Amino acid sequence: MRKILIAASLLFISLSLNAQNREIHFEKLSLKEALAKAKIENKSVFVDCFTTWCVPCKRMEADVFTVDSVADFYNKNFINIKVDMEKGEGPAVKKTYTVEAYPSYLVLDAEGKTRNKFVGGMSAGAFIANARKSINANNDEANLNARYESGDRSPELMRAYIKHKVKVMEISKAKQLNVELMSLLTPQQKASPENWFLFGQNRYTMYLSDLSSPNFKYLAEHWRDFVAKNTKDTVDKKLSSVYRQIASWTLNGFYVKAKPYDRATFEMYKKQIQNTEMPDKNQLLVMMDIAIAAAENNEPKVTQLFLDHLGSFSEDNRHILFDYVSYCSKIKGYDYPKIAALSDEITRTSSNPFLIRQFKSMKERYAKKDN
């Protein structure tokens, strides 16, 4: 009896181990070959769009593609292939299907038309759920593509389409759709609450309404229209956040990586600020002067402007002092000649313990006895 139980146990363990060894079977086919095979077998093609340096791609391959339920579903329903977006046919696939983030996953019909697209690392359950949507043509990707391709340019469709393109990280397409929608709307329609997501602070900001976007420029020049349709506080907070970002990015060096410094552009920012009624308008004007001085490598002026005005800054605006530290750290041999005065003023006026602590530490390190 004991031998029978041992044998049964070993058999169970063996079966369990075998059951955990399944994974998605990726065939070594070109996309054209995969589409031809899909047509013969009446299946769709699943394309794993990856790069060799993409960490989430590797995690999905190791932790999700090897889950039995995932492997079973994908192997049953799709012709599966992997395409390196930087080699072979990868660049062409990337361009055709607007692949702009990794990992991206395409489900194509036998004609090469997109049935579904989903992006990023996810759980096995979510990965299967997306696959199920791909089998059912009634999903956002298929529906929105079809409506747009049929000529539908209704504001409702365009808004949904822009949001979806951001979701699947087709940012260039989302920006094109945004420009198209703006050309179709009246000034009053642009300022309406249903279109505020194109201008306001939200998950779409960095793609559609950041400091270099046409949407932000429009908002800055027509802010009164938006105040009338939304609220002044909402509009003020958006405007203030972007001008604060401009100063922050200029100090920490991000601005010049995105676009070349041009004094006239910063003077335009100042004019835009001057024409608003933001509560922190005067603070933001000072911050633009700080940004100009930083971009022109005038450190003494940067420091003096902070000393003269940081006491009047809001805590949100005072936060750019962290970027001031980044700015100074890039100056070879810089010894923070006015660090004691800065630290004392921050201690006197700020309620941010992290800011106070950092400048106190810098004062202890750099301040001369006679400073």
User: Which amino acid is present at 189?
Assistant: Q
Q: How far apart are CA 59 and CA 54, in angstroms?
A: 9
pLDDT of residue 14: 45
Residues 6+ apart with CB under 8 A from 371: 337, 338, 339, 340, 341
Q: How far apart are CA 36 and CA 23, in angstroms?
A: 23
Which long-range contacts (C-beta less than 8 Å, at least 24 apart) are formed by 268-277? 269/243, 272/220, 272/221, 273/239, 273/243, 276/220, 276/223, 276/236, 276/239, 277/232, 277/236
First to last CA, the chain: 90
303, 288 contact by CB (below 8 A)? no
Among 267, 244, 251, smallest CA distance to 314 is for 244
291-323 per-residue burial string, b: 16 or more CB within 10 A, e: under 16: bbbbbeeebeebbebbeebbeebeeebbbbbbb
pLDDT of residue 18: 46
Which long-range contacts (C-beta less than 8 Å, at least 24 apart) are formed by 51-60? 51/84, 51/85, 51/86, 51/102, 52/84, 52/86, 54/102, 54/103, 56/102, 56/103, 56/120, 56/121, 57/102, 57/103, 59/121, 60/103, 60/121, 60/122, 60/127
305, 289 contact by CB (below 8 A)? yes
pLDDT of residue 17: 45
Question: What is the mean pLDDT, run by run of 10 residues, along the chain of 371 residues?
Answer: 45 46 94 96 96 96 96 96 96 96 96 94 95 84 93 97 96 97 96 96 92 95 96 96 96 90 95 96 97 96 96 94 94 91 94 95 81 42
Both tokens of 258, joined, read: 């995105």
Where does residue 34 fall: left (phi above 0), alpha (psi -120 to 50 degrees), or beta otherwise?
alpha
- Indicate the burial class of 189 (C-beta count within 10 angstroms; 0-12, 13-18, 19 or more): middle
Backbone phi and psi for residue 116, each to the nearest 5 degrees, phi listed first? -160, 155
| Beta strand ranges found along the chain (DSSP E) | 44-50, 78-84, 104-108, 114-119
Angle at 152 between CA 150 and CA 153, to 5 degrees: 140
> What pairing do the DSSP bridges indicate for beta strands 44-50 and 78-84?
parallel
Q: How is 80-126 classified by DSSP, letter by letter?
A: EEEEETTSTTHHHHHHHTT--SSSEEEEE-TTS-EEEEEES---HHH
Backbone phi and psi for residue 80, each to the nearest 5 degrees, phi listed first? -100, 130
pLDDT of residue 371: 42
pLDDT of residue 368: 73
For residue 352, count other CB atoms closer than 10 A to its CB. Answer: 16
Q: How far apart are CA 348 and CA 282, in angstroms?
A: 21
Where does residue 58 fall: left (phi above 0), alpha (psi -120 to 50 degrees), or beta otherwise?
alpha
Please give the biggest Cα pair distance in the chain. Answer: 91
pLDDT of residue 314: 95
Q: How far apart are CA 86 and CA 34, in angstroms?
A: 19
